[in-house]
Amino acid sequence: MGGGGGGRELDTTPTWAVSLVCLVIVVISIILEKTIHKTAEAFERRKRVALVEALEKIKGELMVLGFISLLLTFGQNYITRVCIPEKYSRTMLPCEFKSEDSHEGGEGSEEGGHRRLLWFERRMLATDSPGKGCKEGFVPLISVNALHQLHIFIFFLAVFHVFYSAITMMLGRLKIRGWKDWERQIAEQTDGSAADAARFRLTHETSFVRSHSNMWMQNPIIFYVVCFFRHILYSVQKPDYSTLRHGFVSVHLSPGTKFDFQKYIKRSLEDDFKVIVGIPPYLWMISVVYLLLNVKGGQVMFLLSIFPLMVILAVGTKLQSIITQMAIEIQEKHAVVQGIPLVQVSDRHFWFSKPTLVLHLIHLTLFQNAFEITYFIWITYEFGLHSCFHKYFLLAVIRVCIGVGVQIVCSYITLPLYALVTQMGSQMKKSIFDEQTSKALMSWHNKVKKKHEHDHDHVPIRTRKLGESPGDDSSPEHSPKHSSGAAAVAVMESSIEMSDQRDPDSPKEQMTDIDLLTGP
């Protein structure tokens, strides 16, 4: 690098060595590109539009990191020519500054002055060429060796960004997969296999209310303490899932509609994943501040590492308190309910009545936590585990343990809980529901058209996607009012009536079995 250390230039390097290195780099790059491309194709075949968009975001972030690396490579000769007064180079060091006399002594001084020796080496590398050095009393802003270490840091960021994104999605889907049996049991009860679901009970006798309400919950302090431990130990139980599902279906869909709520939550998680994999500009600014404050052994870094833990625990407690508050509101009505009690769906349960604020806090927590762990791994790789960056080694170990714990809690508990509880807001995710409903309606209409092809009195049935303009010749009763579940069911029912008029043998009951997420 920089011609230091007796290294050969390109004109004195064998061509086979240059070609071999280029070949290896090109092959590895092509393999990575093809892997990402095949992954995107697999998501497209499985109709995972949200995951495709998330993958595109990851590719965009990798491109940004690539541009940063290219700029560092192209501009290193110009950056190293920037000189600053030597006194400023001794301020805000990550390790304590060692004077020249401190490393001229014994072996202990030499080991303790490792950072100072590196500093002298970098200064020599930056000033080995005539005309490129700094005048007396000035030093380079950053050395070539330090730029090389930044390159490695960029590489670590790229690799671990993909790794953490995959871990987050894998743990979240694993948690939601455990709710599949609950969805199947609820579907069987809806079909009439369980008579207990239809019996009348007082609100405080329902399992959902009993599990969340007692006399101690009237105290605000005890209320949040209980919600805190419930979030960590058992965040979502079957009564919670059943009640929230019942509230969602009752508000957004028509009674009796076949709907796979667990699959909808999984799609919702994928939609949230599009947000948390991105790195907006303000998060880049936070990472710069993170690097700026890494001074004198890392005590400040330890304090910053506690921030993601506090945020994710506060968010989880808030989400759990929303479920508990719904149970208390049902209990206070002192009413008689049939089957599952109906929860009140509203944005007022969330901070500032904005459910998306919780998602942005989760996004901030995951990014800061991932950046901190990546930084720790990079420092360990470059300078060793017991370097001056880890002056307080015990604090460094605690930071890593906190980071791993936050990653697991956020991915496996908090994010799936958010995907479930956020459905209790006033708005549903129409982008997910309408897309799948349109596919179900289009598939059903195509089957109806094929069925009537052999009918001599066939009247063409016009098909269109949900939400499209019906045209001037369409009757109002066949036009969807809104891109919501209720409007979709209305379109479906009106289409069923049209088909019944043409074919009396077409049972209407078969059409009500259409799954609005997967189609007929």
Residues 308-355 have pLDDT tens digits of 888 889 988 888 888 888 777 776 665 555 556 666 666 777 788 777
Residue where a domain stops, chosen among 412, 428, 444: 428
Whether residue 108 sits in one domain with residue 14:
yes
489 vs 278: CA distance, rounded Å: 35
438 vs 451: CA distance, rounded Å: 20
Whether residue 30 sits in one domain with residue 176:
no
Q: Which one-letter DSSP state was computed for residue 219?
A: S
Does residue 378 lie in a domain region? yes
Does residue 284 lie in a domain region? yes
Within its chain, how far is the Cα of 402 from the centroid?
19
Residue where a domain stops, chosen among 399, 428, 457: 428
**453-456: which pairs have CB atoms within 8 A and are 24 or more residues apart?**
455/502, 455/503
Element (H, E) at 316: helix 299-332
Whether residue 446 sits in one domain with residue 390:
no
Whether residue 380 sits in one domain with residue 355:
yes
Whether residue 103 sits in one domain with residue 26:
yes
Whether residue 320 sits in one domain with residue 273:
yes
Does residue 307 lie in a domain region? yes
- Tally the domains of the chain: 3
Does residue 517 lie in a domain region? no
Percentage helix, strand, coil, to 5, in the chain? 70, 5, 30
371 vs 363: CA distance, rounded Å: 12
Question: Per residue of the chain (520 residues), what is the pLDDT tens digit?
Answer: 444 444 677 777 788 888 888 889 889 888 888 888 888 888 888 777 777 777 887 787 788 888 888 888 888 888 888 888 888 888 877 777 665 444 444 444 444 444 443 444 444 443 344 335 778 888 888 888 888 888 888 888 888 888 888 888 889 888 888 888 888 887 777 655 444 445 555 555 566 666 667 666 677 788 888 888 888 888 788 888 887 887 777 777 766 667 788 888 888 888 888 888 878 888 888 888 888 877 765 567 777 778 888 888 998 888 888 888 877 777 666 555 555 666 666 677 778 877 788 888 888 888 888 888 888 888 888 888 877 777 777 888 888 888 888 889 888 988 888 888 887 666 666 555 555 555 555 666 566 666 666 554 554 444 444 444 344 444 434 433 344 444 444 444 444 444 444 444 443 444 444 445 544 4
pTM over cut 0.85: no
Whether residue 492 sits in one domain with residue 370:
no
Whether residue 333 sits in one domain with residue 320:
yes
Where are the strands (E) in 238-383, listed by range? Answer: 336-338
Does residue 1 lie in a domain region? no
Are 308 and 164 contacting, i.e. CB atoms less than 8 angstroms apart?
no
Q: Which two tokens stand for residue 60?
A: 């965009």
Whether residue 162 sits in one domain with residue 191:
yes
Element (H, E) at 509: helix 508-511
Residue where a domain stops, chosen among 406, 428, 450: 428
416 vs 326: CA distance, rounded Å: 19
Whether residue 163 sits in one domain with residue 68:
no
Whether residue 467 sits in one domain with residue 368:
no
Does residue 268 lie in a domain region? yes
Q: Is 293 exposed, middle or buried (0-12, 13-18, 19+ CB in 10 A)?
A: middle
Does residue 5 lie in a domain region? no
230 vs 317: CA distance, rounded Å: 8
> pLDDT at position 336, please?
52
What are the angstrom distances between the C-alpha of 282 and each of 135, 279, 285, 372? 38, 8, 5, 16
Strand partners, 85: 138
How many residues in the chain? 520
> pLDDT at position 112, please?
41
Does residue 518 lie in a domain region? no
Residue 120's CB is within 10 A of a number of other CB atoms, namely 12
Whether residue 160 sits in one domain with residue 21:
no
Domain encompassing residue 93: 10-152
Q: Apex CA 82: angle with CA 79 and CA 85, to 5°?
A: 140
> pLDDT at position 332, please?
66
Are 276 and 359 contacting, i.e. CB atoms less than 8 angstroms apart?
yes
